[in-house]
Structure 1
Amino acid sequence: MQLVLHSLVALWLCFVSRVYAQDVPTQFYIHHRVVHPNLPVTPWSNFGSISIPHPSSISPSGTPVTFTLAETLLDDLSEFAESVNPALEESLYQVAVEKPKSSEGMWPASVMKGCLMSMSTSSSITIHLSSSGEPLGLDYFLSTIPSNGSCPSPSETSKSYSMHNTTVFVTTPRSPPLPELRAPPPLTPEGAPIPPVAEKTFLQKYWVYIVIVVAALLVSGPPEEPAANGTGPKAPN
């Protein structure tokens, strides 16, 4: 009896822990930096944090989440401009999501040209999660950039990295629809396919109706000849 009670308690605790885990959101930190191939690598700075709900409540097409900006964001952007001038050719702006228990080189990241950062006032981040809620990829988009992605002239490029109104989305993988398979053809006990039944001809389909029509015509007999009305010429006496 005690063994049964212990088993029931263990199952109940397991159920409660799973329900509680689904209600508690997971917090992730987003980082950013600027880099240039000919300059020392700039360390990552905190861009902000997000709270992601349980993967079961996330829409595959994307669910917006609350994004809290870091308090040091403006100071970091100023330091970025001092380290790498946005007007400098090949300057890059990087955004990454911190992956727990992984090195910085394994963080999902996205790259944007530094010269394009001052051409837009809003941006969006899409974080792709696995079915267990682990970050797999990150996409960073600016609301307004040239269709060809080219940088403006150096005289038109801002000397600083502007602050954007950023929206964050999270997505989960979606399974493709299963193929609709046709039913297998019937087989004989020997495993050979059963040939389809030959389609009936017109006579085979409608011979009953033809017989009925012919019988009706035979029963009715030939049409009666009209009687003489006496209006014809009389025979000579």
Structure 2
Amino acid sequence: MRPLFHLLATLWLCSVSQAYAQDAPTQLYIHHRMVHPNLPVTYWSNFGSISIPHPSSISPPGTPVTFTPSETLLDDLSKFAESVDPALEESLYQVAVGRPELSEGIWPMSVMKGCLMSTSTSSSITIHLSPSGEVLGLDYFLSSIPPNGSCPPSSDTANSYPVHNTTVFVKIPSSPPSPRLRAPPPLTPEGVPVSPVPEKTFLQKYWVYIVIALAALLISGPPEEPAASGNGPKAAN
């Protein structure tokens, strides 16, 4: 009896731990760097971390999550400014979600012009997840960007990359409504579509009523003539 009790208790603990592991949040790490086509490639630095809730609690429009910046964020931004001048028009700021199972070259990533970084004080990151919680893509936005997306004049560009007030959202794709399919046409035993029955004409539909109306008119006969009145002029004797 006791071994059976221990077996049931073990199975219950396994099921509870598995359910807890499924509902437990997932930790994701966001990385960033500055690159320029004419300069050596810089290494990724830790931008911060977020805690992703279970996909069942994420709404399609987007759920905000807590973002914890990296402790070395200020030092990394200073190194970026030393390696890539913010005034360079071809500089690019890259933000990516690190996935250990993938190589860095194919991380989900978003790119922004580096010259626009100094003109904004806040940013937002939207991480797109699959229904199972897998990272599909990443969008990075700045609070203020010129309508034409051009870089500001070099004189208006700061010599450093500021720390932005970053807000992070996670989204899952919403399923479109299922199409309403029409029923397939009936087939004959030979597999040929059954031809629809031709629609009847007006006479074919209502000939019985027309015949009844005509018969009623014939039976009733012509209308009676009015009787002659006796008040007319009398003939002379």
The TM-score with structure 2 as length reference comes to 0.85
Fraction of identical pairs, as percent: 78
Counterpart residue number, 1:95:
95
Counterpart residue number, 1:118:
118
Task: Give CA-to-partner distance per residue, 1:93-147, whole Å, 9 cap, x none.
Answer: 1111111333323322222111101122221111122333222321111121112
The alpha-carbon deviation at position 18 of structure 1 amounts to 4.1
Counterpart residue number, 1:20:
20
CA RMSD in angstroms, aligned pairs only:
2.8
Contact persistence 1:120–1:142 (CA under 8 A)? yes
SS in 1 for 2:154: coil
1:96 corresponds to which letter in structure 2?
A
Contact persistence 2:32–2:44 (CA under 8 A)? yes
Looking at structure 2, the residues matched to 128 and 57 of structure 1 have their Cα atoms a distance apart, in angstroms, of 14
1:184 and 2:184 correspond: yes
1:226 and 2:226 correspond: yes
Looking at structure 2, the residues matched to 89 and 104 of structure 1 have their Cα atoms a distance apart, in angstroms, of 25
1:210 and 2:210 correspond: yes
Contact persistence 1:45–1:76 (CA under 8 A)? yes
Contact persistence 2:58–2:171 (CA under 8 A)? yes
Counterpart residue number, 1:131:
131
Greater shift, 182-191 or 23-32, is seen at 182-191
Say if 1:188 and 1:97 are closer, same or farther in 2 by CA, change over 3 A: same
Looking at structure 2, the residues matched to 169 and 26 of structure 1 have their Cα atoms a distance apart, in angstroms, of 14
Counterpart residue number, 1:68:
68
Looking at structure 1, the residues matched to 9 and 178 of structure 2 have their Cα atoms a distance apart, in angstroms, of 40
Say if 1:123 and 1:202 are closer, same or farther in 2 by CA, change over 3 A: same
1:123 corresponds to which letter in structure 2?
S
The alpha-carbon deviation at position 203 of structure 1 amounts to 1.8
Looking at structure 1, the residues matched to 48 and 78 of structure 2 have their Cα atoms a distance apart, in angstroms, of 16
Contact persistence 1:58–1:172 (CA under 8 A)? yes
Contact persistence 1:22–1:53 (CA under 8 A)? no
Contact persistence 2:89–2:113 (CA under 8 A)? no
Looking at structure 2, the residues matched to 98 and 226 of structure 1 have their Cα atoms a distance apart, in angstroms, of 108
Counterpart residue number, 1:164:
164
Looking at structure 2, the residues matched to 133 and 197 of structure 1 have their Cα atoms a distance apart, in angstroms, of 54
Counterpart residue number, 2:109:
109
The alpha-carbon deviation at position 156 of structure 1 amounts to 1.1
The alpha-carbon deviation at position 177 of structure 1 amounts to 4.0
Greater shift, 66-75 or 157-166, is seen at 66-75
Task: Give CA-to-partner distance per residue, 1:25-56, whole Å, 9 cap, x none.
Answer: 00101111212233333322221111101223
Contact persistence 2:78–2:161 (CA under 8 A)? yes
Gap runs ≥5 in structure 1:
none
Contact persistence 1:99–1:106 (CA under 8 A)? no
Say if 1:177 and 1:13 are closer, same or farther in 2 by CA, change over 3 A: farther
Looking at structure 2, the residues matched to 184 and 117 of structure 1 have their Cα atoms a distance apart, in angstroms, of 58
Say if 1:63 and 1:200 are closer, same or farther in 2 by CA, change over 3 A: same
Gap runs ≥5 in structure 2:
none
Looking at structure 2, the residues matched to 221 and 8 of structure 1 have their Cα atoms a distance apart, in angstroms, of 100
Contact persistence 1:99–1:134 (CA under 8 A)? no
The alpha-carbon deviation at position 180 of structure 1 amounts to 2.8
